[in-house]
Amino acid sequence: MAATEHARELALAAAQAAADKKAENIMLIDVSERLVITDVFVLASAPNERQVSSIVDAVEERLLALGEKPIRREGERDGRWVLLDYADVVVHVQHNEVRTYYELDRLWRDCPVIEFTDAAAPTRSE
- pLDDT digit string, tens, across residues 67-96: 999 999 999 888 899 999 999 999 999 999
Answer with the residue of higher pLDDT: 101 or 77. Answer: 101
Would you state the pLDDT for residue 124? Answer: 60
Instruction: Give how far Cα 10 sits from Cα of 7, 47, 75, 96, 101, Å.
Output: 5, 24, 21, 23, 27
Mean pLDDT across 47-59 = 97
**46 near 96, Cβ under 8 Å?**
yes
Torsion, Cα of 10, 15, 21, 26 (10° steps): 160
**40 near 84, Cβ under 8 Å?**
no
Query: Where along the chain do its domains lie?
Result: 5-114
Question: Domain 5-114 maps to which CATH number in 3.40.50.300, 3.30.200.20, 3.40.50.1220, 3.30.460.10?
Answer: 3.30.460.10
Would you state the pLDDT for residue 125? Answer: 57
Mean pLDDT across 33-53 = 96
Confidence category of residue 103, pLDDT binned at 50, 70, 90: very high
**30 near 58, Cβ under 8 Å?**
no
Which has the closest alpha carbon to 31: 97, 83, 104? Answer: 104
Residue 123 above 80 pLDDT? no
Average pLDDT, the chain: 94
